Amino acid sequence: MSRKTLEIYSVELDGTKDTKQTDQEDDKKYNDLDLKKSHQKEELKRELDLDDHKLTSEELEQKYGTNIITGLSSARAAEHLARDGPNTLSPPKQTPEIIKFLKQMVGGFSILLWIGAVLCWIAYGIQYVNDKSASLDSVYLGVVLALVVILTGIFAYYQEAKSTNIMASFSKMIPQEALVIRDSEKKVIPAEQLVVGDIVEIKGGDQIPADIRLLSSQGCKVDNSSLTGESEPQPRSAEFTHENPLETKNIGFYSTTCLEGTATGVVINTGDRTVIGRIASLASGVGSEKTPIATEIEHFVHIVAGVAVSVGLLFFIIAVSLKYQVLDSIIFLIGIIVANVPEGLLATVTVTLSLTAKRMAKKNCLVKNLEAVETLGSTSIICSDKTGTLTQNRMAVAHLWFDNQIFMADTSENQLNQAFDQSSGTWASLSKIIALCNRAEFRPGQENIPIMKKVVVGDASETALLKFSEVILGDVMEIRKRNRKVAEIPFNSTNKFQLSIHETEDPEDKHFLVVMKGAPERILERCSTIMINGQEQPLGKSNATAFHTAYMELGGLGERVLGFCHLYLPEDEFPESYPFDVDAMNFPTSNLCFVGLLSMIDPPRSTVPDAVAKCRSAGIKVIMVTGDHPITAKAVAKSVGVISASSETVEDIARRCSIAVEQVNKRDARAAVVTGMELKDMAPEQLDEILANYSEIVFARTSPQQKLIIVEGCQRQDAVVAVTGDGVNDSPALKKADIGIAMGIAGSDAAKNAADMVLLDDNFASIVTGVEEGRLIFDNLKKTIAYTLTKNIAELCPFLIYIIVGLPLPIGTITLLFIDLGTDIIPSIALAYEKAESDIMNRKPRHKKKDRLVNHQLAIYSYLHIGLMQALGAFLVYFTVYAQQGFWPTSLINLRVRWEKDELNDVEDSYGQEWTRYQRKYLEWTGYTAFFVGIMVQQIADLIIRKTRRNSIFQQGLFRNKVIWVGIASQIIIALILSYGLGSVTALSFTMLR
């Protein structure tokens, strides 16, 4: 197995040069892999009945009514455009703005409040019919309720729209242009005007503007990664090479990029009919899951609305049977509903979410869908991509082998600290080869940019080598200048090596230096000596063994290994003027001196291992899903901690114990590496079993469709699944996931569209911050809701007592709204600023079905403990006010009827004083104000209680959250304004308190 792997790796590292070769190698060695591949493609193929790649150019001309030389006529093109529509992907169906707005207006509690408002108006209507001078109170109340609904609706809509706008600006693309031949002329037209039959020319750097069948090509290579996930550039030519349109080389796909070369082709599909278009529409077909927080809030709304309506109806019936008028009973009903519904809460939740979204945007997580903020917090499984998310998406030198020793190189993002021993003479030679035998170059004009950030022209491996040597040796370009290159054989797949011949930098030294790098075993074949400690030694058996051990070890780490050798040409045979001919190879390419090995890997981002560890301690399973080879995948998984150091796969155990894989007890292994091929043959139950039994899983060689299967498998475990991805092919999985996370830099637009969140820095560590924020917001929302629910009892009790005991009404409906929407709003938002309680990342993610946002503990604690205390406290204040004015609590019982009779102007109090109706009303308002202030003051205490759920208030720090104090101040100020500033406004029913 490992031997095979080594070979495939040596192939792959050179494979950048010629993928065809790799493919063939692959096919030979991994028939099974090929099987999987073809299976995967078949899935796409079913929808893809494309035979244009089989046709000759003449047939194509006929089919599309075009001419390869002259192109379409403008008239014809216009005709086609009218028939097929523009060459753009139709954007996902958007809900019309007005529908969104109306949804905000009737969603949640709004419908209850609308009912309340309408009941108010009906009540007034009935009153008005009976008595033309009926008071307008209930009309006011109705208007206020309607206003509340409309304002909170507008507010929520605005918040929603604001976050959508961020994305809208994000997804806007630069208009694309295409070079097209029409009417025998080359024209540049906007790509969306392309039609079937157009002849287009593409060159390196262009995005392919539609699905095209290539007619001619000069060294054209395309990057199909957004379509297939293969990161290797694919050569494109005019020949028909494969039955499968996705496999054949003569078709270029819409939205893929032409990396180098030029090509001409005829457009065969445009817009949504392109392959990418079909995948995109597949993604929009995948239903996206309701976010957990939406479910939670719905659950909460159901609970509260249920309580409100049932208590309301219960007391309506009680009121009617207590011989209250039906009209009065309706007013009670409204009061009870208003008291029960936390009007301001949904707005608060929206604000809280958008605050967190903003905070996360600062940490490079752009949240598209506000509710996704919390989803990340409840995530229990992260299916992470490898390339670019866990790794840096570039090659870097990881290990060196020379002098029979393996040295480790620094693979961190800045690579400043190359600490291995550089004193050996071998290193001097090796570094020279690395610097010289390299065709990559820095793009000019980047002198002030750090080496790691400089743009390089050349493939990934060469770039890595160039940067590596630049860091260690200094100016590589200068070294190359001093060692003038006289001849060069570029890499090709037959030779599997790259060679160049240089003059030496010593002007006295007339030797030529041949430097060579390539697949290690090929290089070794050409060597007869080996350099140890700067001395050439014959390549003995022991050296060869050492080489193989090192090669296997490095290959086993999933790294691309390169061998380096050199040879000083004898001066006499190769004089200064010797004409080197690379085609004739008139110079020795064997019996060289082997210098060393160097291995490269796409190194993990330095922040990732820590982030993965954090995820693990937070109870989140990190599953790596990659298209890469299992060995590389496993190596990266190990280095980032997706597979922790102590865990073993079944295969590892088998190897350690030297037993067959079948004999290993599967329960002993904690980690598993599953390839796409294995996955293909698996029943869903088997996948479930794997997902449930192994804590550390790597899926390698997977196709996008399988990614979807994996996500579904995870969701079957009741897990909240986060998926990261960047390609178009990932978009169905991103959509299917509870939260899709797209990469901001590498991500395609399709992926970003399907995702709920975009990582602006493509960094896995940002996900962890996101998780932290998500959990924090869940906790804080819980606090907010607990805070908001508490006063419901204090608001509800007055109505119940009023109906049953007949006290003068302790608090009016409008006054209630002032609590809900006035004093309590800012404090409840302030709770969103509460810092995490210490253990936030050390606990398990919440279970989406068991850990509800509002559970009975919260409800009981809010309603029956704090709420009850609050109600009693407020009543105490109310009784105090009445008692001080002359109505002792005992005299209040059953006073209601006489109290409210307008004509009765000599109601006697406990001292024998007689009160007019207005005097009583004024006292009642004072009572409202007192009750209001009573609740308000207790809410301040409640706010401080709610700051923490687990920690003590002193652990959490009383003053760490400054916003809380702003909230408290706002509460007091609003209450002061209401009771002293607006004392004379009778509609608000506030009076001054002494």
Q: Which of 28, 93, 323, 850 binds other proteins (CB under 8 A)?
A: 850
Give Cβ neighbours of residue 845 (< 8 Å, ≥ 6 apart).
377, 378, 379, 380, 618, 619, 620, 720, 775
Beta strands in 734-882 (DSSP E): 739-743, 757-759
Measured from the CB atom, is 21 or 919 closer to other proteins? 919
Site for other proteins, residues 722 to 781, rule: CB under 8 A: 778
Helix (H, G, I), strand (E, B) or coil at 376: helix
Q: Between the CA of residue 666 and those of 607, 633, 654, 770, 956, what are the distances in Å?
A: 32, 21, 10, 34, 45
Task: Give the number of other Cβ atoms within 10 Å of residue 681's Cβ.
Answer: 9
Q: Which of 422, 884, 894, 955 binds other proteins (CB under 8 A)?
A: 884
Measured from the CB atom, is 258 or 691 closer to other proteins? 691
**Sign for the pseudo-dihedral over CA of 115, 120, 123, 124:** negative
Is residue 909 at the binding interface for other proteins, with CB under 8 A as the rule?
yes
Strand 497-503 to 485-489 pairing? antiparallel
Q: Which of 458, 619, 806, 983 binds other proteins (CB under 8 A)?
A: 619
DSSP structure class, residue 391: B
Is residue 898 at the binding interface for other proteins, with CB under 8 A as the rule?
no
Is residue 193 at the binding interface for other proteins, with CB under 8 A as the rule?
no
Q: Min. distance of Cβ 296 from other proteins in angstroms?
A: 11
Stretch that binds other proteins, among 257-265, 279-287, 802-810, 905-913 (CB under 8 A): 905-913
Site for other proteins, residues 936 to 975, rule: CB under 8 A: 949-950
Measured from the CB atom, is 715 or 880 closer to other proteins? 880
Site for other proteins, residues 777 to 816, rule: CB under 8 A: 778, 782
Q: Which residues pair with 514 in a beta bridge?
A: 501, 567
Q: Min. distance of Cβ 852 from other proteins in angstroms?
A: 7
Site for other proteins, residues 143 to 162, rule: CB under 8 A: none
Measured from the CB atom, is 51 or 908 closer to other proteins? 908
Angle formed by the axes of helices 345-362 and 292-321, nearest 10°: 170
The single residue listed with the structure tokens 């301001």 is 344
Measured from the CB atom, is 534 or 619 closer to other proteins? 619
Task: At 40, list the tokens.
Answer: 């995967």
Measured from the CB atom, is 187 or 949 closer to other proteins? 949
CB 721, CB 223: distance < 8 Å: no
Is residue 886 at the binding interface for other proteins, with CB under 8 A as the rule?
yes
Size, binding site for other proteins by CB under 8 A: 50
On the 0-12 / 13-18 / 19+ scale of CB atoms within 10 A, 172 is exposed
Q: Which of 905, 955, 969, 987 binds other proteins (CB under 8 A)?
A: 905
Is residue 915 at the binding interface for other proteins, with CB under 8 A as the rule?
yes
Task: At 623, list the tokens.
Answer: 């599953």
Q: Min. distance of Cβ 872 from other proteins in angstroms?
A: 5
Stretch that binds other proteins, among 111-119, 511-519, 554-562, 845-853 (CB under 8 A): 845-853
Q: Min. distance of Cβ 855 from other proteins in angstroms?
A: 5
**What distance in Å separates the CA atoms of residue 184 and residue 980, rounded to the nearest whole number?**
84
Q: Min. distance of Cβ 892 from other proteins in angstroms?
A: 13
Helix (H, G, I), strand (E, B) or coil at 443: coil
**What distance in Å separates the CA atoms of residue 640 and residue 643, rounded to the nearest whole number?**
8
Q: Min. distance of Cβ 293 from other proteins in angstroms?
A: 13
Measured from the CB atom, is 572 or 903 closer to other proteins? 903
Q: Which of 843, 898, 960, 962 binds other proteins (CB under 8 A)?
A: 843
Angle formed by the axes of helices 326-340 and 764-804, nearest 10°: 150
Is residue 910 at the binding interface for other proteins, with CB under 8 A as the rule?
yes
**What distance in Å separates the CA atoms of residue 793 and residue 796, rounded to the nearest whole number?**
5
Q: Which residues pair with 222 in a beta bridge?
A: 234, 258
Helix (H, G, I), strand (E, B) or coil at 444: coil
Q: How many CA atoms lie within 13 A of 800 on its CB side?
A: 16
Q: Which of 62, 446, 693, 916 binds other proteins (CB under 8 A)?
A: 916
Measured from the CB atom, is 455 or 860 closer to other proteins? 860
Is residue 994 at the binding interface for other proteins, with CB under 8 A as the rule?
yes
Is residue 171 at the binding interface for other proteins, with CB under 8 A as the rule?
no
Q: Which of 36, 182, 614, 852 binds other proteins (CB under 8 A)?
A: 852
Closest Cα partner for 564 from 500, 483, 648?
500
**What distance in Å separates the CA atoms of residue 875 and residue 870, rounded to the nearest whole number?**
8
x/- map, 242-281, other proteins, by CB under 8 A: ----------------------------------------
Task: Give the number of other Cβ atoms within 10 Å of residue 239's Cβ.
Answer: 12
Q: Which residues are catalytic?
A: 385
Measured from the CB atom, is 217 or 948 closer to other proteins? 948
Helix (H, G, I), strand (E, B) or coil at 59: helix
Site for other proteins, residues 854 to 883, rule: CB under 8 A: 855, 857, 861, 865, 868-869, 872, 876, 879-880, 883
Q: Which residues of the chain form contacts with other proteins (CB under 8 A)? A: 619, 778, 782, 839, 842-844, 846-847, 850-852, 855, 857, 861, 865, 868-869, 872, 876, 879-880, 883-886, 888-889, 903, 905-906, 908-919, 922-923, 926, 949-950, 986, 994
